[in-house]
């Protein structure tokens, strides 16, 4: 595949509440794309990010978030139109995200044939546990219907080595959207 046919992948990561906390999601985002956008775990940061995006600049968007209790990658397959917990600054937005929106939206980045094949490397999840992550996924799927968008929650680096986690994600992305990352990303990593 020529580089002109490689879909443009936007990679963002939601930062932990405490900047001193190690973040496997941020580390993987930077391995995938050194210019990845890192944003805070607040509704205001999510809104600002979405409003700053030009859909003409990306074909696919991978959102990464840390999942402290996860044992493997959690591939989120849907976003819910509800909020019930505060963000990192304590702001509450209880209720629905979009008044007339659907109750759930399926993440558009993943293909069913890949996700429903049993994997030792990832788990399919239907609950984007972090409220800001769910909010960001739901709003982005509604605002950018022509882009392929997905969320992956990443276990801590002591559970899943960062480079291994990145390699698993590249493999998953290659299967789902033929992103062409193997040559560009894995070529930067040590053997």
Asked whether residue 52 is assigned to any structural domain, the reply reads yes
3-class secondary structure, 62 = strand
Contact call for residues 141 and 109 (beta carbons, < 8 A):
no
Q: Is residue 87 part of a domain?
A: yes
Is 74 part of any domain?
Answer: yes
Structure tokens at 159: 């559970």
Give domain status of residue 191, yes or no.
no
In a domain, 123, yes or no: yes
Structurally, the chain folds into a number of domains equal to: 1
User: Has residue 168 been placed in a domain?
Assistant: yes
Evaluate whether 64 touches 165 at the Cβ level (below 8 Å).
Answer: no
**Which residues are bridge partners to 104 per DSSP?**
80
- Assess if residue 29 is contained within a domain: yes
In a domain, 190, yes or no: no
Q: How many Å separate Cα 133 from the centre of its chain?
A: 8
Domain interval for residue 104: 3-185
CATH number at 128 reads 3.40.630.20
Each residue's pLDDT expressed in tens, for the chain with a length of 191 residues: 335 566 788 999 999 888 788 899 999 999 888 888 999 999 999 999 999 999 999 988 999 999 988 999 999 989 999 888 888 888 888 889 999 999 999 998 887 766 666 677 888 888 776 689 999 999 999 999 999 999 999 999 899 888 888 888 888 887 777 555 544 444 444 44
């Amino acid at each position: 595949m020529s580089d002109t046919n490689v879909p443009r992948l936007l990679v963002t990561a939601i930062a932990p509440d405490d900047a001193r906390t190690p973040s496997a999601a941020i580390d993987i985002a930077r391995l995938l794309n050194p210019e990845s956008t890192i944003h805070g775990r607040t509704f205001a940061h999510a809104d600002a990010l979405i409003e700053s995006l030009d859909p003409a600049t990306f074909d696919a968007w991978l959102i990464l978030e840390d999942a402290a209790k996860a044992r493997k990658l959690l591939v989120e397959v849907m976003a819910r139109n509800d909020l019930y917990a505060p963000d990192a600054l304590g702001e509450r937005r209880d209720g629905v995200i979009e008044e007339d929106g659907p109750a759930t939206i399926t993440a558009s980045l993943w293909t069913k044939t890949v996700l429903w094949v049993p994997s030792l490397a990832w788990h399919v999840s239907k609950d984007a546990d972090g409220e800001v992550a769910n909010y960001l996924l739901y709003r982005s799927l509604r605002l950018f219907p022509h882009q392929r968008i997905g969320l992956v929650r990443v276990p801590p680096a002591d559970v899943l080595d960062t480079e291994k986690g990145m390699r698993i994600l590249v493999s998953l992305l290659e299967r789902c959207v033929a992103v062409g990352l193997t040559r560009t990303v894995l070529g930067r990593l040590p053997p």
